[in-house]
Structure 1
Amino acid sequence: MSDNDGKKTLGVRGGGGRPGQVKQSFSHGRTKNVVVETKRKRVVVPKPGAGTAAGRTSGVPKGDPSKRPAGISDAEMDRRLKALKAAKAREVEDAAKREAEEKAREEERRRRREEAEAKERAEREREEALKAKAEEDARKLREVEEAKVRAKAPAPAADPAAAQAAEARGTGKTSSAPRKTDREQPKQQPRGKGGHNDGRRSGKLTLNQALRGGEGGRHRSMAAMKRKQDRMRAKAMGNGEPREKVVRDVKVPETIVVSELANRMAERVADVVKSLMNMGMMVTQNQAIDADTAELIIEEFGHKIVRVSDADVEDVIHSVDDAEEDLEPRAPVITIMGHVDHGKTSLLDAIRHAKVTAGEAGGITQHIGAYQVTTDDGALLSFLDTPGHAAFTSMRARGAQVTDIVVLVVAADDAVMPQTIEAINHAKAAEVPMIVAINKCDLPAANPDKVRTDLLQHEVVVEKMSGDVQDVEVSAQTGQGLDDLLEAIALQSEVLELKANPKRAASGAVIEAQLDVGRGPVATVLVQNGTLKRGDIFVVGEQWGKVRALVNDKGDRVEEAGPSQPVEVLGLNGTPEAGDVLNVVDTEAQAREIAEYREDAAKEKRAAAGAATTLEQMMAKAKADETVAELPILVKADVQGSAEAIVQAMEKIGNDEVRVRVLHYGVGAITETDIGLAEASGAPVIGFNVRANTSARNTANQKGVEIRYYSVIYDLVDDVKAAASGLLSAEVRENFIGYAQIKDVFKVSNVGKVAGCLVTEGVARRSAGVRLLRDNVVIHEGTLKTLKRFKDEVAEVQSGQECGMAFENYDDIRANDVIEIFEREEVERTLD
């Protein structure tokens, strides 16, 4: 909008075209006059009665065109009236709702205000009650102290003036008698509010004195006053009285740590250390003291000493006689026994529907296995598969000790053999029932009757020969007679009525133990009593631990294992011996104490002896001395059972002139420590399915210590036996010509997996034998299928060069595996 001069103007509604001026204000006091034009607003006045509720309800005809706005039909008029009525109804409803909400909010505010006021009143009343009680307690305490002062005040008869003054102080009155001079009595104390002396000469500090004492000096803090009130309140309630001393019987072994002594006395460690320092012993809480010193400390603290020996620490492992109502049926433990290669593992495979024979070196079972099998009838059976070689006699005997039923496997085409007789003797010694399984009945040369007849010579009379020993003809290959064998086992277990208490602390036997890379020490345990749970603290032989995980025979982790269940136990602090007994204890301190005692006792029995370094030198020295020579050796094996079996076999070798002594045996790779011990003792190191690490190999080469490797136990036994007896015939000796490390693995068509290798030591030859090592453990032995340098097939590859290798009939190769290359040669042994 603009005026006649062309200037813009502001339009203001409210009139016609009335021009005018408006004063416009700006910041900083500036103003401006603006020309405006005022316009009038159009006012529409409805006709009487049109569009109002009164008009609609007063009977005005809605169809009358003169009573409604122009252009609105009857239907539109009805719709507008209905909308207006609905809007008014909603307004009334909303108003009522708002009023109800406001009323509810007001009620809630009132309720909260009343609750706050009630809480404040209660708090105020409680504070007033506490204050009144504190004042009452202070008053009572003041009266008691004043009564004590009056009772202790002296009243000599020779001085009537002093007696009068004391009487005046007791009655609260002033005395007119003359007072003593300053030389005869202490300086006069200020009087209290009651007009009497506060009894300063008594040495007691009353509440009034404390309150007045701050007038000219130090004021007591509010925290100190509150602590004093708390003490008075506790004393009034009887809690301030000293507790009666508890006299304890403290068990003390030959030596005990200071902190453990304080724990057993239930005294503070600092107090015990302080008492020892007062006796002139500057010790810490982690140092050990002898029993005599501990006795002095115990008597000083008012307790009684009970001297115990070191062996008493095992008293916590006590045998529990289970009540008959606590016993529950358990699965039988069956041990498979028999001569080597009579089909024990294959028979167990047929029962388990699994294949484990392929993993054994030379098809011979090297370790004890434990498996659980559920039959078609739902019966649960626990099987122990023991090796059949004669060197594993002790392992087989241990299996018979933990087993309930022995299944004696005899080949129908081979009859009774020496190890079959040993198995019979072990079963009889353990008083375990026996079931004879005549295997390989599917072969043409099978003669089961000959087996039954041969068993008669060893007092084993089968049922077919009118005896009481069950016999079953089976075939592991065809599955013949397996159902009959399981039925015989179930029948025998019913006769035995096997029961155990699953609700007590667990105990069991270690079937096998080994040091697993990544998992640490692992023990295969057959639970015999109780339930072994995750988190249990246990002691097993010289080791102890806390169950970190339980793994069943299928490889699944479980939370607990009941009676007759074999599980792998993780969480040990070391590798136990196969055959050790596992017992669950209450605390880690008990487990550690028992393990340390057993370890110390075992160390006292071990001794080292020295001879020569190699077997040949030892025999030469034995002949030169012409005396009984002890041939020391060190044994390292992949699992505990193998190591123990080798030790048992070595003890049997020898005569009046020569015998073999195992200085040390253990589980895991050969380390530099083993080489050091071998050098000090002049003994060779024998590795069974393990290898020496690089530092150990270098140290052995520098110090001239011989390391011999074996993968089949009877080769080891025969070798040592031949050396010890002087039968040093031609032998096949392995010369290690090189080592290669796998850097990467490739897949090549028509070849399979090819290892990209770097020759780290020596030379790699196509015609040489090879072994695949993983974590210094042999996992494969065989020959090379191909040896390539770039794309060309070569005869050998020198150290420091890269090459490609592929194994014959073996593809399980991984990066960082080590390939050991060796050549076999026949060497004539001599004793010179």
Structure 2
Amino acid sequence: MSDSDGKKTLGLRGGARPGSVKQSFSHGRTKNVVVETKRKRVVVPKPGAGKPAASGPAGTTQAGDPSKRPAGISDAEMERRLKALQAAKAREAEEEAQREAEEKARAEERERRRAEAEAKEREEREREAKAKAKAEEEERARKEAEEKARAAAAAPAPEPAVEKDRAKAAPAPRKTERDRGDDRNKGGKGRGDDGGRRAGKLTLNQALSGGEGGRQRSMAAMKRKQERARQKAMGGSVEREKVVRDVQLPETIVVSELANRMAERVGEVVKSLMQMGMMVTQNQTIDADTAELIIEEFGHKVVRVSDADVEDVIQQVEDKEEDLKPRPPVITIMGHVDHGKTSLLDAIRNANVTAGEAGGITQHIGAYQVKTKDGAVLTFLDTPGHAAFTSMRSRGAQVTDIVVLVVAADDAVMPQTVEAINHAKAANVPMIVAINKIDKPAANPDKVRTDLLQHEVIVEKMSGEVQDVEVSAISGQGLDDLLEAIALQAEILELKANPDRAAEGAVIEAQLDVGRGPVATVLVQNGTLKQGDIFVVGEQWGKVRAMENDHGDRVKTAGPSVPVEVLGLNGTPEAGDVLNVVETEAQAREIAEYREQAAKDKRAAAGAATTLDQLLAKAKADENVAELPILVKADVQGSAEAIVQAMEKIGNDEVRVRVLHSGVGAITETDIGLAEASGAPVIGFNVRANAPARNSANQKGVEIRYYSVIYDLVDDVKAAASGLLSAEVRENFIGYASIKEVFKVSGVGKVAGCLVTEGVARRSAGVRLLRDDVVIHEGTLKTLKRFKDEVAEVQSGQECGMAFENYDDIREGDVIEIFEREEVSRTLD
């Protein structure tokens, strides 16, 4: 304690001293409290005396004062104690600072939580106010809508335009005090804004005033809405009457097509399927049983049809007699190769067609229209005469009305001539014989007529019914007579067709054009093919994108007996397929898919028809047969087909050609990959490999061979296949020697002393040992000596020594036969 003049009073040293303590309470409150602290007195006994050492006011030994240091304590010990004391004080100061920092952090955390709780309470109050305002707004809107609906039901509905003007002219409704309060509670957002819940919804005022976001109802929609409101107010039914349909259901059907046949929304059909546990899209296929459940669920009737019934949409209508009109005849020119078929047609058309064919031979079916001097229109088909194009000639005969059989006067009847006669007879079409090359010195038309008798073709000069005309394609002799004969034959046939029906035709040829895609040469047989028609042809379908006639001009329509190139197919059809026009793309696609699946099933059934024994026998037979694999790419379908047929005829029991793949169009990387995997060359007929395919072939070492004449192709493949034949080994006898005496020679074995009785004995030749004319050993000579010298050969009448390789059983009197073998290469005929 101290008095008023500031002087210190007398007191004990080391007594109680004032201090402060920070107290913490709830909700982050703190308080500083003044307390008294007592210092502990430290007594250090003196060594040997037992008296306590003096201590300073801070409880420390007076180390700095030597007179007050306890007895017996050295300077080093005193220094160590001072350092320990200072370290303890520093540690206490750090702990005090850490405690103050933690206390401060706790206080800040409590303050933050308190602020968050207050903000949360404030937000809760605002949310409740908004919910209350929203409920009041919705209640007002509902009452307004009911009042307007009652007013609309009581009075005739005004025109939408008048209603719109009225709505624009009407003053805005006045806000009540409660509305203004609601606006204030919502932060001044306005009555229409209710926190985003009704964003995007169309109110009656918005619909009548054109909307705020540019969304407008159509006039028809407004009328339908008013009609529904009127019927509802009058107690009538709003729902339309359900239309029950007969839905044709095949074995499988696409979901979108099923919805189309039921006239239902695709989304509703997909939703029903999902409710049944089927997660499908509109482009997926479902089976008939599932589709039947869906059809019944939508209230329609099911008409089950088989897959084959899809082709019933192709109209097989019998034309009435009054609808039929005359049509141009279709004439096919047939005959042996190089007998002048194309040159004859060339002379009739006055156009050079032969020059455009590789090697001067026809390798495609050409279709042309010719107009005669009399104004008659004739359609000509020019077929190849080579043996490989049998199927092409067959197709030509099937779509034709008249066959002109061209026979060269200097060559008479040849194999393909006979084949053409058989095709014409099988197709049951009349024939006109054109004896060509009549201007040649070696021409003998009577021999042609006589040879035709052997094949039951009796011409008019031989008292028959078949017309025959002597013509020359070079000089033009007899061409008018030939056209006259054709016109006469066409007049007898009375050819007619109905041009006013869905088109039907035959594919003469098909190819894959790089720029135009799949292209089919079609001969229209019935009806008229128009641009835009949807058609199905074989396993393909399409829409007529464009048509070109035989002169390359674009045309819009093609009537009966008119040949045109059709663009717009989804794939390359087979030559000989029938083209039919249908109504919709869905029908065309369905028919094409059915035909494709039927063809696959047929091929699979043919493969499965073989028994296990047959498979094993075939595999065993194939072990001894060498195969030459090839890939074939051609410009048109007919050529590819002809090449494959020609390849199948090459070979015998030892070797054969196997076509791994044949197709139409340019050689691609895919073809090179297949060829590399199988070690096969790629044969291109009138096509070329594209740049990536050429690079790939160079890298992988695949051979690409290009051809434009089918003769060369067949000959080269025959030569390559001949290389797989094992060479024929021929044996040539060159001499005999008889054994006169047998010697034993050390290091050699038994040596026969022989006399060459016939021919010559050679060291390099093969030998047989005969005993009583029975072969007991066949091998080679180990040594052939004349006296003591090794020689290459010994002539007849001379003696020599012989030793066999690995054989010692030789006796006196045995005969040695000497022979040579040579290999002779074989070829395929």
- With structure 1 as the length reference, what TM-score do the two structures score? 0.58
Q: How many Å separate the matches in 2 of 1:596 and 1:361?
A: 37
Question: For 2:357 and 2:589, how far apart are their aligned partners in 1?
Answer: 37
Kept in 2, the 8 Å contact 1:542–1:599? The answer is yes
SS of aligned partner of 1:471: strand
Change (3 A) 1:135 1:502: same
- Structure 1: runs of 5+ lacking an equivalent: 1-129, 139-218, 608-621, 731-827
Aligned length: 515
Q: Which residue of 2 aligns with 1:396?
A: 393
Aligned to 2:544: 547
Query: Does the 8 Å CA contact 1:134/1:229 hold for their aligned counterparts?
Result: no
Which residue of structure 2 aligns with residue 480 of structure 1? 477
Aligned twin of 2:154: 135
Aligned partners of 1:222, 1:697: CA distance in 2, in Å? 68
1:385 maps to 382
Question: What residue in structure 1 maps to residue 524 of structure 2?
Answer: 527
Alignment of 1:240-639 (within 5 A): 240=237, 242-603=239-600, 626-628=623-625, 631-639=628-636
> Could you say what secondary structure the match of 1:256 adopts?
strand
- Tell me what 1:665 maps to: 662
Cα 1:277–1:390 change in 2 (3 A) is same
Describe the superposition over 1:208-259 as per-residue Cα deviations: whole angstroms up to 9, x where unpaired: xxxxxxxxxxx97596999875335456999846443333232233332211
Report the Cα distance in structure 2 between the residues aligned to 1:335 and 1:266, rounded to whole angstroms: 50
Match of 1:231 in 2: 228
Do structure 1's residue 640 and structure 2's residue 637 form an aligned pair? yes
Question: Within 2, Cα distance between the matches of 1:696 and 1:729?
Answer: 34
Q: CA deviation at 1:554?
A: 1.8
Shift of 1:640: 1.8
Per the alignment, residue 817 of structure 1 pairs with none
SS at match of 2:693: helix
CA contact (8 A) 2:231 2:238 kept: no
Larger radius of gyration: 2
Q: Take 2:224 and 2:375, find their aligned partners in 1: how far apart are those partners?
A: 72
User: Deviations 1:351-401 (Å, cap 9, x if unpaired)?
Assistant: 111111111111111111111011111111000011111111100110000
Contact 1:137 1:233 in 2 (8 A): no
The alpha carbon displacement at 1:475 in A equals 0.5
SS of the residue corresponding to residue 548 of structure 1 reads strand
Deviation at 1:695, TM superposition (A): 2.5
Residue 518 of structure 1: SS of its match in structure 2?
A: coil
Aligned residue identity for 1:527 = V
Q: 1:461-486 CA distances to partner (integer Å, 9 max, x unpaired)? A: 00000000000000011111111100
Superposition deviation, residue 599 in structure 1: 3.2
Q: Which position in structure 1 is the counterpart of 2:212? A: none
More deviation in 349-358 or 539-548? 539-548
State whether residues 410 and 436 of structure 1, in contact with CA within 8 Å, keep that contact through their aligned partners in structure 2.
yes
SS at match of 1:414: coil
Change beyond 3 A, Cα 1:369–1:241: same
Unaligned runs of 5+ in 2: 1-148, 158-202, 209-221, 605-618, 728-824
The match for 1:37 is: none
Deviation of 1:592 after TM superposition, in Å, equals 1.9
Q: Are the aligned partners of 1:514 and 1:575 in contact in 2 as well (CA < 8 Å)?
A: yes
SS of the equivalent of 1:673 reads: helix
Q: Cα RMSD (Å) of the superposition?
A: 3.4
Change (3 A) 1:503 1:729: farther
SS in 1 for 2:482: helix
Identity of aligned residues (%): 87
Bigger Cα displacement from structure 2, 644-653 vs 320-329: 644-653
Residue type of the alignment partner of 2:637: Q
1:707 matched to 2:704? The reply is yes
Could you tell me how far 1:686 is from its partner in structure 2?
Answer: 1.6
Q: How far apart, in 2, do the equivalents of 1:650 and 1:497 lie?
A: 42
133 and 286 in structure 1: CA distance in 2 versus 1, 3 angstrom threshold? closer
Higher mean alpha-carbon deviation, 354-363 vs 542-551, is at 542-551
Report the secondary structure of 2:641's partner residue.
Answer: helix
Label 1:716 to 1:220 Cα distance change in 2 as closer, same or farther (>3 A).
closer
Q: How far off its partner does 1:324 sit? A: 1.0
Contact persistence 1:317–1:583 (CA under 8 A): yes
1:634 CA displacement: 1.8
Q: Relative to 1, partners in 2 of residues 1:247 and 1:445: Cα closer, same or farther, differing over 3 Å?
A: same
Q: What letter matches 2:154 in structure 1?
A: E
CA gap of 1:641–1:625, structure 2 versus 1, over 3 A, is: closer
In structure 1, what is the equivalent of residue 121 of structure 2?
Answer: none
Q: Is the 8 A contact 2:457 2:466 kept in 1?
A: yes
Paired amino acid for 1:135: A
Q: Distance in 2 between matches of 1:238 and 1:431?
A: 76
Change (3 A) 1:312 1:623: closer
Cα distance in 2, alignment partners of residues 131 and 234 from structure 1: 12
SS at match of 1:275: helix
Checking the alignment, whether the CA contact within 8 Å between 2:514 and 2:665 is kept in structure 1 is: no
For 2:549 and 2:226, the matched residues in 1 are separated by: 64
1:327 deviation in Å?
A: 0.7
CA distance in 2, matches of 1:442, 1:588: 56
Q: 2-side partners of 1:239 and 1:220: how far apart?
A: 23
Which amino acid letter does the alignment assign opposite residue 633 of structure 1?
Answer: I
Output the TM-score relative to the length of structure 2.
Answer: 0.58
Aligned counterpart, 1:125: none
Q: Which amino acid aligns with 2:458?
A: V
- Determine if the alignment matches structure 1 residue 693 to structure 2 residue 712: no
Are the aligned partners of 1:525 and 1:568 in contact in 2 as well (CA < 8 Å)? yes
Do the aligned partners of 1:535 and 1:546 also contact (CA within 8 Å) in 2?
yes
SS in 1 for 2:407: strand
Q: 1:601 to 1:672 in 2, by over 3 A?
A: farther
Q: CA deviation at 1:591?
A: 1.6
Distance 1:630 1:318 in 2: 48
Contact 1:137 1:232 (8 Å CA) reproduced:
no
Contact 2:434 2:470 survives alignment (8 Å): yes
Alpha carbons of 1:452 and 1:301: their partners in 2 closer, same or farther (altered >3 Å)?
A: same
